[in-house]
Amino acid sequence: MELESENLEKVSFLVLGWLRVKRLPRNFLSQVVEIAEHAKKIAKDDPRKVFHSLKVGLALTLVSLFYYFQPLYSNFGVSTMWAVMTVVVVFEFSVGATLGKGLNRGLATLVAGALGLGAHHLANITGKIGEPILIGIFVFLQAVASTFIRFFPRVKARYDYGMLIFMLTFCLVSISGFRTNDLLDLAHKRLSTILIGASTCLVVSIFVCPVWAGDDLHMLVALNLKKLGNFLEGFGDEFSNSSEAKESENDISLLVGMNSILDSKNKEETLANFASWEPGHGQFMYRHPWKQYLKIGNLTRQCAFRVEALNGYLNPKTQASKEINGMIEEAFSNMSSESGIALKELALAIETMTMPSSPNRHITNLKMASKNLKSLLKSNFCENTNLLQIIPVAAIASLLIETAICVEHIAEAVNELASLANFKQPDSNGVAENSSKDEISHVISINGPTLEGATGQSLTP
């Protein structure tokens, strides 16, 4: 009996083990499938990422040709690898980032190479014993100074990579000088191979499906305004049918959009930094007022804070009593719809780069609606209720009024941008609308399908 149970145990153990082993490749397979699906999603959300990968491959293959052909190789020898390194390190997603890194690398190599040669020459004079000591001191001082300078906020923002390459090249040139005789040749080869690598990156980056950081910033700011506008318009509908307030899928996608607005500060600043490196392209001249986009972005976020707070009050649990709702809901609905429409018009003006109409009709409507709401609130209709019941209504009213003020500020900032960047005058043939549709589909491809709910809706300017 005991023997039998022992056998049974052994058999079951073997079976379990076998099942586990059998499941192993299936688990592995399911993981591979998962990763593949993830990759497919990334590629579908932004096909430019696939193109970028192909561009990097192309640039690397081009540069590696220097290794394969004897006449090219004989010029630079082993230094050719600096060109390969430069491509790997410098090639970034947008033209601005690539250009910024390339210029940083090139200039830093030039300056540091010259200084390194000077340091080597100076140390060389002092003789065999003094040389390593003096070079050691130079390297130490240079490393301390460069590292500290990297903490300067303005340097960190634009020249951090340049400082790194400065340190690197200075060390390489001055230290190598101790072992290599033909130091000038080393410095010259390093500089020219880096120039070859960087220019390969730039040519591929600019001429093969270019990705401009400036375009992205432009569309991101417009898209955020539009998302906020859609959200506010959605509020308008919710106020008028507040009885059947429910969380639909559309609401959730709108909420995701809201969070992306609140979190976009960092992205906007990075893009503005890259954009400032970019040459003129398409509709943008060289010194396009990129900083103004940051201002509009900040105002959009301030407005989004208010809208977020508003959203908290639209929870059915905190709805004020019906009688108040009945009296005031039209004013609320009016306010938020007008705010939304005004924001969407501003977004369209940015997208199509046309002057927003001035005086803006929707801003005027909004001011009127704000005035109406205030006068409605002045009439004493709170006698029968206690303050606790009025709080949500009062808070919503107050937030709507503040939102309207924010929208006015945004309109001012957009007008400022329009005059700084010489936006074109609107024409009445509906050309703006047509061109905007193209750009909207472009934005969707930048920002992925999660935003389709927010951007797929038709725009009524």
Minimum distance from residue 29 beta carbon to its own copies (Å): 19
Q: Between residues 446 and 459, which has the closer beta carbon with respect to its own copies?
A: 446
Site for its own copies in 325-344 (CB under 8 A): none
What's the min distance (Å) between Cβ of 68 and its own copies?
4
Q: How far is the CB of 104 from its own copies (least distance, A)?
A: 14
- What is d(CA 172, CA 191) in angstroms, rounded to the nearest whole number? 12
Q: Of 206, 256, 382, 459, which one interacts with its own copies (CB under 8 A)?
A: 382
The interface with its own copies within residues 79-108 (CB under 8 A) comprises 81, 84-85, 88-89
Contacts (Cβ under 8 Å, ≥6 apart) of 315: none
Q: Shortest approach of its own copies to residue 178 CB, angstroms?
A: 6
Binding residues among 293-312 for its own copies as defined by CB under 8 A: 305-306, 308-309, 312
Instruction: Output the six-digit token pair for 15.
Output: 């079976």
Give ∠ CA 75-80-86 in degrees, rounded to 5: 135
Per-residue binding string, its own copies, 251-270, x by CB under 8 A, is ------------x-xx----
Q: Which stretch binds its own copies (CB under 8 A): 94-102, 138-146, 246-254, 292-300?
A: 138-146
Tokens of 391: 């709080």
Q: What distance lies between CA 268 and its chain's CA centroid?
A: 5
Shortest spacing between CB 438 and its own copies, in angstroms: 25
Q: How many residues of this chain interact with its own copies, rule: CB under 8 A?
A: 76
Q: Scan residues 63-82 and list those touching its own copies (CB under 8 A).
A: 64, 67-68, 73, 78, 81
Asked whether position 287 contacts its own copies by CB under 8 A, the answer is no
199 touching its own copies, by CB under 8 A: no
Q: Of 330 and 433, which has the nearer Cβ to its own copies?
A: 330
Cis ω for the linkage preceding 359 (within 30 of 0): yes
At 162, phi and psi to the nearest 5? -60, -40
Q: Which of 121, 140, 203, 424 binds its own copies (CB under 8 A)?
A: 140
Question: What is d(CA 448, CA 253) in angstroms, rounded to the nearest whole number?
Answer: 12
Pairwise CA distance, residues 131 & 119, whole Å: 10
Residue-by-residue DSSP string for 417-434: HHHHTTPBPP-TTSHHHH
CA–CA distance, 69 with 46 (Å, rounded to integer) = 37
**Binding its own copies by CB under 8 A: which of 255, 377, 446, 459?**
377
Does 56 sit near its own copies (CB under 8 A)? yes
Separation CA 329–CA 326 (nearest Å): 6
The one among 378, 427, 429, 458 contacting its own copies by CB under 8 A: 378
User: How many Å apart are CA 459 and CA 443, to the nearest integer?
Assistant: 14
Classify residue 13 as exposed, middle or buried by CB count within 10 Å of its CB (0-12, 13-18, 19+).
exposed
Does 381 bind its own copies (CB under 8 A)? Our answer is yes
Chain residues 164-183 in contact with its own copies, contact rule CB under 8 A = 164, 167-168, 171-172, 175-176, 178-179
Nearest to 242 by CA among 340, 373, 333: 333
Tokens of 420: 């700084």
